[in-house]
A and B are shown apart, each in its own frame.
Chain A
Amino acid sequence: MKANCWMGRNTVEVREVPDPKILNARDAIIRITSAAICGSDLHLYDGFIPTMEKGDILGHEFMGEVVEVGREVSNLRVGDRVVVPFPIACGNCLACAHGMYSVCENSNPNAALAEKIMGHAPAGIFGYSHMLGGFPGGQAQYARVPFADVGPIKVQDDLPDEQVLFLSDIFPTGWMGAEMCDIKPGDVIAVWGGGPVGQFAIASAFLMGAERVICIDRFPYRLQIAARAGAETLDYEEVDIPDALRDMTAGRGPDACIDAVGMEAHYPIPAVQAYDRAKQATRMETDRPYALREAILACRNGGIVSVIGVYAGLVDKFPMGSFMNRALTMKTGQCHVQRYMEPLLGRIRNGDIDPSFVITHELRLEDAPRGYEMFKHKEDGCNKIVLKP
């Protein structure tokens, strides 16, 4: 089959690789009909996630048709149309029993690698480094889905791929980002990062009853999408964000701040950007945390900082004094997608939201390398790419 493989920093290639086969009794093989490129794939592309191997198949947002099931999978049949959640979860461990699917205790065969970097190991993730399991991703014609009896959700044919594909990651991730803000009537929510995850966080915050949502980014097309969803927008290259937020909330600060940016943030002051870039390049820190620093400083006293942007290792200059003295709460996590798929499918079906609004480009799988370049450099207003194998 054909698959999009990571071949080193800034290089992906669509290569011919063996077809997947069943390795565990609870596996299923899926023929992929749609797979998306995620902003977090760019962290891999840019070479900032440790433990990647040349040849790793990328992609953790995908859906398709079941073509084979292992002997222990009784809820799926060949021919079923399914969306696959990006964290791999067994459904049996204590974490899964509590709905904490992204920290499943059994799905990461390389847990010892992750423990060295993170202390304890999170769940395995499709196509996202070897410390997160060494599982091939879904930017391919076929994929093996472990624990297929727990993760994939069946979807009827009446909803097109474009509407349900993002149940695999970014819609639930944005939703969880808003949910962690514990939104109450009158709340003002600020969202750093107006990419697809930020866009879903904005939409979700409004669905949860936020009074106002403020989106912070620098790309005009993203700010336009945010504005269309009803958010107020701030371009951080034009205005001083902490000042602007203080002003917009009459001095209080946003009740909750969502970091939908993560480890490769940009900063409008060249010297500060250069400082963290240099430290990142020399591996003195792995992550550039501008958005996180700003979100902490901007948040109102006693407010919540919700982190859904991806971080990999260590950050520097973390404003712990502000965080501690002002009684802030931080909530984080890779999304527990399995927890949200069913209810969010319901939201799509009843017309609360049509997730296809994020898509700007549809490419053939063969064009994945061009897609990564385009997405990385934000060419042609590239907001979200869907690949068709």
Chain B
Amino acid sequence: MSEEYERKTDRIASALGWASIGLGMVQLAAPGPITRLSGVDDSPLARGLVRFVGVRELFHAMVLLGSRRPAPWVWTRVAGDAMDLTTLGWAIANREGWRRRRVTAVTAAVAGLTAVDLYTAMRANRRRRGIQAPSVMSLHAAITVYRPRQEVYDFWHDFENLPRFMAHLESVETIGGGYSHWRASAPAGRCIEWDAEIVEDRPGELIAWRSTESAAVRNRGSVSFTDAPGGRGTEVRVEIEYDPPGGKVGLAFARLLGEHPEQQVRDDLRRFKQVMETGEVVRSEGSPEGIRALRQVMQRPAQPVR
């Protein structure tokens, strides 16, 4: 899909967001007049329901106007429309005369809005399908270590050192001939093992590795070392690619658990820096394991560990 097409979809989506604000505020401020206008002021539930819908409209507005790419969020409005149409249909069935005519008119208006919402949401979907979804997870992170480049390279080159700062690695055994055996803990308490081989090794500059054919979770990675300018140490850049176990669902689940893969790699590098510069991973009583994604959100109190 073209850029122009996407921008237009986003523009319609924000316009719908502004409409949500207007509607939501009116519904919250004056639920009485709204129920009379819609011919449902005979129901004791109506006022409360209108207020609830008002709050929901403000939620639509928040996600639509608070997003850089609002289009996919229009689906929240479509869901809201479905709810409104159901309620209104029920209201029509229970009314007669002028009340019934008013509810029908309001229903027609909501149906019109639903058509616009649906049109926009479909446009958003078309856009998403247009972009090739990557089949592998690709991560990137970088850090500056205040140690000489050769020393930083040498430490990383000994893969058996990796578990000292990569929180999810339990062990790495070098087998010889550029091969090594890796054991890692995976989300939900599982454990995975695989063999890896070094595919490129430029002393002091770069190490690249990949899992062998037998690996259950195929992965590859590289780390490059360059001099930071002006004697600031060594810039370390890591690229990691892997097929996330459980695919996108597994990934979303891991994120929910606070184990965002990108954050993990960043934390690994921070621990790497601590080990290189201070000799070990730094621990506090709030984070006794050292930097750990899960611990960042669920701290122990700052009291001695028993």
Given the known interface contacts A25-B279, A90-B282, the answer about A130 and B302 at a Cβ–Cβ threshold of 8 Å is: yes
- The 8 Å CB contact of B304, one of A21, A97, A124, is A21
Shortest beta-carbon distance from A291 to chain B in Å: 29
Whether A111 and B304, one on each chain, are in contact in the complex, defined by CB atoms closer than 8 angstroms, is no
- The 8 Å CB contact of B303, one of A17, A72, A110, is A17
For B288, what are the chain A residues with a Cβ–Cβ distance below 8 Å? Answer: 23
Whether B304 and A105, one on each chain, are in contact in the complex, defined by CB atoms closer than 8 angstroms, is no
For B302, what are the chain A residues with a Cβ–Cβ distance below 8 Å? Answer: 53, 55-57, 127, 130, 134-137
Shortest beta-carbon distance from A139 to chain B in Å: 12
Shortest beta-carbon distance from A389 to chain B in Å: 15
Question: What does the 1/0 interface line of A271-294 toward B look like (CB < 8 Å)?
Answer: 000000000000000000000000
| Residue B190, interface by CB 8 Å | no
Given the complex of chains A and B, what is the CA–CA distance between A134 and B263 in angstroms? 19
Whether B146 and A134, one on each chain, are in contact in the complex, defined by CB atoms closer than 8 angstroms, is no
Whether B286 and A26, one on each chain, are in contact in the complex, defined by CB atoms closer than 8 angstroms, is no
Given the complex of chains A and B, what is the CA–CA distance between A136 and B299 in angstroms? 12
Question: What does the 1/0 interface line of A135-146 toward B look like (CB < 8 Å)?
Answer: 111000000101
Given the complex of chains A and B, what is the CA–CA distance between A25 and B293 in angstroms? 23
Given the complex of chains A and B, what is the CA–CA distance between A35 and B264 in angstroms? 38
For B144, what are the chain A residues with a Cβ–Cβ distance below 8 Å? Answer: 94
Given the complex of chains A and B, what is the CA–CA distance between A113 and B280 in angstroms? 21
Within 8 A of A (CB), among B269-302: 270, 273-274, 277-280, 282-288, 290-291, 293, 296, 299-302
- The 8 Å CB contact of A109, one of B146, B277, B291, is B291
For A106, what are the chain B residues with a Cβ–Cβ distance below 8 Å? Answer: 273-274, 277-278, 282
| Residue A78, interface by CB 8 Å | no
Shortest beta-carbon distance from A341 to chain B in Å: 20
For B278, what are the chain A residues with a Cβ–Cβ distance below 8 Å? Answer: 26, 90, 92-93, 106, 147
Shortest beta-carbon distance from A18 to chain B in Å: 4
Whether B280 and A25, one on each chain, are in contact in the complex, defined by CB atoms closer than 8 angstroms, is yes
Question: What does the 1/0 interface line of A104-127 toward B look like (CB < 8 Å)?
Answer: 011111111100000000001001
Given the complex of chains A and B, what is the CA–CA distance between A147 and B306 in angstroms? 21
Given the known interface contacts A53-B302, A130-B299, the answer about A135 and B146 at a Cβ–Cβ threshold of 8 Å is: no
Given the complex of chains A and B, what is the CA–CA distance between A43 and B34 in angstroms? 47
Given the complex of chains A and B, what is the CA–CA distance between A54 and B300 in angstroms? 9
For B303, what are the chain A residues with a Cβ–Cβ distance below 8 Å? Answer: 3, 5, 17-18, 55-57, 136
| Residue B131, interface by CB 8 Å | no
| Residue A19, interface by CB 8 Å | yes
| Residue A133, interface by CB 8 Å | yes
Whether A19 and B304, one on each chain, are in contact in the complex, defined by CB atoms closer than 8 angstroms, is yes
| Residue B266, interface by CB 8 Å | yes
| Residue A20, interface by CB 8 Å | yes
| Residue A24, interface by CB 8 Å | yes
| Residue B249, interface by CB 8 Å | no
Given the complex of chains A and B, what is the CA–CA distance between A127 and B280 in angstroms? 22
Whether A94 and B280, one on each chain, are in contact in the complex, defined by CB atoms closer than 8 angstroms, is no
Given the complex of chains A and B, what is the CA–CA distance between A163 and B119 in angstroms? 75
For A108, what are the chain B residues with a Cβ–Cβ distance below 8 Å? Answer: 282
| Residue B267, interface by CB 8 Å | yes
Residue of A17, A24, A25 with most partner-chain B CB within 10 A: A24
- The 8 Å CB contact of A134, one of B266, B285, B306, is B285
Given the complex of chains A and B, what is the CA–CA distance between A53 and B286 in angstroms? 9
For A19, what are the chain B residues with a Cβ–Cβ distance below 8 Å? Answer: 304
Whether B296 and A113, one on each chain, are in contact in the complex, defined by CB atoms closer than 8 angstroms, is yes
Whether B287 and A110, one on each chain, are in contact in the complex, defined by CB atoms closer than 8 angstroms, is yes
Whether B279 and A72, one on each chain, are in contact in the complex, defined by CB atoms closer than 8 angstroms, is yes
Cβ-closest chain B residue relative to A72: B279
Whether B286 and A133, one on each chain, are in contact in the complex, defined by CB atoms closer than 8 angstroms, is yes
- The 8 Å CB contact of A97, one of B146, B286, B291, B306, is B146
Whether B273 and A105, one on each chain, are in contact in the complex, defined by CB atoms closer than 8 angstroms, is yes
Cβ-closest chain A residue relative to B274: A106
Cβ-closest chain A residue relative to B289: A109
- The 8 Å CB contact of A90, one of B266, B277, B285, B301, is B277
Shortest beta-carbon distance from B273 to chain A in Å: 7
Q: Could you tell me which B residues sit within 8 Å of A by CB distance?
A: 144, 146, 232-233, 263, 266-267, 270, 273-274, 277-280, 282-288, 290-291, 293, 296, 299-306
Nearest first, the 6 A-B pairs at minimum CB distance are A134-B286, A55-B301, A20-B304, A109-B287, A56-B302, A23-B283
28 A-B residue pairs with Cβ-Cβ distance under 8 Å, sorted by A, are: A18-B306, A23-B288, A23-B305, A26-B278, A53-B302, A55-B302, A56-B302, A57-B303, A72-B279, A90-B277, A92-B277, A94-B144, A94-B146, A94-B233, A97-B146, A105-B273, A106-B273, A108-B282, A109-B282, A109-B284, A112-B266, A124-B282, A124-B284, A133-B287, A135-B285, A144-B285, A146-B283, A147-B278
Q: Could you tell me which A residues sit within 8 Å of B by CB distance?
A: 3, 5, 17-21, 23-26, 51, 53-57, 72, 90, 92-94, 97, 105-113, 124, 127, 130, 133-137, 144, 146-147
